Structure 1
Amino acid sequence: MFNNVPNRKGTNSFKWDLKPNVLPLWVADMDFEVSEEIKEAIKSRVNHGVYGYTFRPKSYYEAIINWFRNYHAFDIKREWIVPIPGVVPGISFAIQAFTLPGDKIIIQPPVYRPFHEVVVELGRRLIYNKLIESDGYYKMDFEDLENKIDKDVKMLILCSPHNPVGRVWKEEELKRLGEICLRNNIIVVSDEIHADIVYKRKHNVFLGVNEKFFKNSIVLTSPNKSFNIAGLQSGNAIIPNKCLRERFEKIINSQHLGLSNIFAIVATEVAYNYGRQWLEKLLDYLYQNVLLVKEFLEKELNIKVSVPEGTFLMWLDFRKFDDAYNRVLNAGVWLNDGKDFGPGGEGFLRMNIATSREILNEALKRIKSITF
């Protein structure tokens, strides 16, 4: 099912059409077709022929609630769910709702580039709490975190699972982080867009770690990564604290976005109701891709490769090669340059392995040539 991917060239694909002469294993969308259930549901809605203003039905919210209960063992109340057009817009809304220009916001690099961008663009001050790397494994630096906190720190943006290093945070790690933030009146915004893409372990929803964190935390989630529907722009914020939720909704309402995308509503509901079997097959395929990359690069380039605990992204240590990003690009493969993920990313490359084995093998063959 996943070995045969459609030709995406010429479809205005952000991934495939920006640099047409390279194999793009960079931006985090998958090359796989969505599940048959999602395709058929969208076709049915298309065939109706009228695409006027719409709203999210009760069944939409029930699908989200059931998914989190059954897949993540976390119970959500209907009123906690606030629809958003995507996780990064959700981060922007949260910053505007809970902080003021000049306030400090903590992120944990190397981390997803928009975390850096949205903070700076909104006039807040960026504070780095760098992850600690040891032999390819990353941990949070809690001592540094506490040292960085002062009266101007108002928010911490958490990436869980972490993009790009692939960590699925343990319950005790999240608990310690949450206690520090709660004690210092810091809002936690947890980006959990990759929550469903986890290998051989359990994702811990930040709000599910301790009910005390309901007071100062929100979770941003989306089916976009799990079910490859990023182009439909679907997402939800989970906000138990009524005061925080009302402030968040006020910012959204002030933007006059009109958040009811007909096809996003259909796809989200169907994905959460009928997508589990497809997702489990996907995870098996992705994990085999991970092992393929690991074996090849360790054997052919003598690079030690860490297996990600989650996401379909691999964080590859190319520090022994000078100018690795451009050398790999010149070999015909487009990866993400690690320096774009902030301090600690220098010399690393991020690879999106959510593609067919044929494409992945060809990309690896090209990468091998950089040693000559």
Structure 2
Amino acid sequence: MTSFEQVIDRRNTRSVKWDLMETIYGIEDASDILPMWVADMDFAAPQAVIDALEERLKHPIFGYSYMCEGCKTAVQNWLYKRHGWQTQTDWMLFHHGVVPAIATVIETFTQKGDRILISSPVYPPFFSIPEKQGRQVVENFLIEKNGTYEFNFRSFEDQLSQGVKLFILCNPHNPGGMVWSKEILAEIVRLCAKYNTLILSDEIHSDLVFAPHQHIPLVSVANGEENRIITCVAPTKTFNLAGVQAAVMIATDEEKREKLKENALAHGQMELSPFAATALSAAYEHGEAWLEELLSVLSSHMDYVISEITNAIPSIKITKPNGTYLLWIDTRDTGLSENEIMNLLLTKGKLALEPGSKYGKAGTGFFRMNIACPREVLEDGVARFIKALT
């Protein structure tokens, strides 16, 4: 049995995914409900990471730590090998997660009342963080065609022309799974440069891309506008290390890095833990073979889910994404409302998915399913879905 086939009981481990469903879904008892919602995997982390953490635990002192040059080199080598992106280690600033990094960038480079542009449907913190900081969120609605998304550059430019301070890009796209092309990315940079708009590129899903698709770092098509871009990457989504909390902000512009450092000082932000440094280095240095096997498993899983559900329920449409381990399920032709489907999933199917409206009004009619689990669990989840809606 491979590590991707092993079913691991995660209940009573303080797991948000497994132990907080009563709170998240407002139900009294979720003990018989299968969670396929939040984006963490039910696979064990790479053995190299576990071994490195166990070795670190042999030293009994867990004092203040820092991200050494070796940690930065591990990131640098990974980005070049996987994505052809030649970075410099002094461009890197570490944070406790991509979401906190997004909050930091917003706070550092915008003011209350500033307009922040996002392309929806999109990951919910893209809405909530700017709003909590008193910024004005402007939505550029992606154009959906047969389960895939395109940018509406006419409205995108119109919105930029009205004074947008920051654009937040999701590449690869969550929840749609799009890996944006070089042409689309170049046009985003061109228009943002035209209207002097800063770009925050969230590339946390960049390693989870299926051939023949290839992730393209936004900076690699910047055409002289590299200093306009702050990129966020992390090993956490790739290697199932979200609870370890480690992410990297990469900024080629020294002035922007200094401002980010000042923000960290203003908030008393400490360096990452010794466990984060250990896990990050081990994952990037020794995790590639594990990732290649994972990608094969995820691709096969997606093919299975799409075939089973669409054959059983022809009114449902699912397009295989270019990347991520998330399926974006189109239920608009079922004749059922989002609330009706959610109720059927929870009460009849005993299955927890995420409603598309969570990703903005453009997501209404869709549901997001996390398929990163052992095949045995996946087949159970598919059976529950079909049971709920037939």
Who is 2:341 aligned against?
324
Confirm or deny that 1:315 pairs with 2:321: no
- Whether contact under 8 Å (1:333, 1:367) holds in the other structure is yes
Matches within 5 A, 1:49-68: 49-68=60-79
- Whether contact under 8 Å (1:158, 1:191) holds in the other structure is yes
SS of the equivalent of 1:29 reads: coil
Who is 1:244 aligned against?
256
| Deviations 1:187-223 (CA, angstroms, capped at 9, x unpaired) | 0000000000000111000111124231211100100
Who is 2:381 aligned against?
363
Who is 2:216 aligned against?
204
TM-score (norm 2): 0.94
Who is 1:16 aligned against?
18
SS of the equivalent of 1:50 reads: coil
Distance 1:360 1:134 in 2: 27
Who is 2:26 aligned against?
none
- Whether contact under 8 Å (1:4, 1:356) holds in the other structure is yes
Confirm or deny that 1:188 pairs with 2:205: no
SS of the equivalent of 1:108 reads: strand
- Whether contact under 8 Å (2:7, 2:377) holds in the other structure is no
Distance 1:253 1:91 in 2: 17
Q: For residue 344 of structure 2, what is the amino acid of its counterpart?
A: R
**What stretches of structure 1 move > 4 A for 4+ residues in a row?**
none
Who is 2:307 aligned against?
295
SS of the equivalent of 1:175 reads: helix
| Deviations 1:149-171 (CA, angstroms, capped at 9, x unpaired) | 23531000000000000000001
Distance 1:318 1:264 in 2: 40
Confirm or deny that 1:70 pairs with 2:81: yes
Matches within 5 A, 1:5-44: 5-19=7-21, 20-44=31-55
Distance 1:260 1:161 in 2: 26
Distance 2:225 2:16 in 1: 37
Distance 1:155 1:226 in 2: 26
- Whether contact under 8 Å (2:17, 2:35) holds in the other structure is yes
Percent identity of equivalent pairs: 35
Structure 1 residue 57: deviation in Å?
1.4
Query: Please, which runs of 5 or more residues in structure 2 have no aligned partner?
Result: 22-30
- Whether contact under 8 Å (2:98, 2:202) holds in the other structure is yes
1:305 corresponds, among 318, 338, 345, to 318
Distance 1:345 1:326 in 2: 18
Q: For residue 6 of structure 1, what is the amino acid of its counterpart?
A: I
Matches within 5 A, 1:113-152: 113-152=124-163
SS of the equivalent of 2:281 reads: helix
Who is 1:233 aligned against?
245
Structure 1 residue 5: deviation in Å?
2.6
Q: For residue 358 of structure 1, what is the amino acid of its counterpart?
A: E
Distance 2:361 2:180 in 1: 20
Q: For residue 327 of structure 1, what is the amino acid of its counterpart?
A: L
Distance 2:158 2:223 in 1: 26
SS of the equivalent of 1:212 reads: coil
TM-score (norm 1): 0.98
Who is 1:347 aligned against?
365
- Whether contact under 8 Å (2:121, 2:361) holds in the other structure is yes
Count of aligned positions = 372
Distance 1:140 1:252 in 2: 34
1:168 corresponds, among 179, 187, 207, to 179
- Whether contact under 8 Å (1:157, 1:191) holds in the other structure is yes
SS of the equivalent of 2:318 reads: coil
- Whether contact under 8 Å (1:5, 1:33) holds in the other structure is no
Structure 1 residue 47: deviation in Å?
1.2
Query: Please, which runs of 5 or more residues in structure 1 have no aligned partner?
Result: none
SS of the equivalent of 1:91 reads: helix
Distance 2:199 2:382 in 1: 38
Distance 1:350 1:306 in 2: 12
- Whether contact under 8 Å (1:30, 1:228) holds in the other structure is yes
Distance 1:357 1:318 in 2: 24
- Whether contact under 8 Å (2:160, 2:197) holds in the other structure is no
- Whether contact under 8 Å (1:333, 1:366) holds in the other structure is yes
Q: For residue 101 of structure 2, what is the amino acid of its counterpart?
A: G
Farther-moved stretch of structure 1 (239-248 vs 192-201): 239-248
- Whether contact under 8 Å (1:130, 1:343) holds in the other structure is no
- Whether contact under 8 Å (2:207, 2:238) holds in the other structure is yes
